[in-house]
Amino acid sequence: MSFLKFFYINYIDLLQRLLGFNHVVRMLESVRGSLIPHILVKYNANIGQSLHCKGGLIIENATGDEDSTHDFSRLRIGSNCFIGRSVVLDLTDQIILGSEVAIGSRVCIITHSDFGERQLSRIYPRTKASVRIGEGSYIGTGAIILQGVQLGRRCIVGAGAVVVDSFPDDSVIVGVPAKILHKSL
């Protein structure tokens, strides 16, 4: 790690001690992409080698939620992964990305649904479940992956798809709600 990265990571750590963990979460939205893996690891994410981030990573519910851990321990990312700009990761439950996963810009991975203290919560109570994306998979720009989804290895999710169900290895998934277009192998 270069001196500048070392200095910046320690600066963020000092701010976390003074201002709280929520400050670290918000810093991820504005720091250079090359710093993001170092910050995630410093705060307990399990990250493999060679994570490339474009920048603007948005982490939801690492703080301020009834299930918050106040760190990134619910995030596991394998080796040789790519995360595009302005990706949203909801850490109410665990998110697991296998090795060589590529996530396009503005993708949302959501691990819970909650209407809070509203009338709908009596009909639709809070739920949460982990999301797993198998190794070698690609998630296209603007796709949304909802709680409980498990994607097999080498899946392709088309841009703008809303994935509400799990899919097996080698699936090409498109649409709203997402359906299998065909098997890639």
Residue-wise pLDDT tens digits, 34-56: 999 999 999 999 999 999 999 99
Token output for 72: 């990134």
**Residue of 178, 159, 151, 147 whose CA lies nearest to 60:** 147
Q: What confidence score (pLDDT) does residue 1 get?
A: 60
Sorted by where each begins, the domain ranges of the chain are 3-183
Q: What confidence score (pLDDT) does residue 183 get?
A: 76
pLDDT at 73 over 90: yes
> pLDDT-derived band of residue 2, with 50, 70 and 90 as boundaries?
confident
**Regarding the domain with residue range 3-183, which homologous superfamily does it belong to in the CATH classification?**
Hexapeptide repeat proteins (2.160.10.10)
Q: What confidence score (pLDDT) does residue 40 get?
A: 95
> pLDDT-derived band of residue 16, with 50, 70 and 90 as boundaries?
confident
Edge-first strand listing for the sheet containing 95-97: 46-47, 75-77, 95-97, 131-133, 150-151
Region 77-101 average pLDDT: 97
**Residue of 35, 48, 42 whose CA lies nearest to 21:** 42
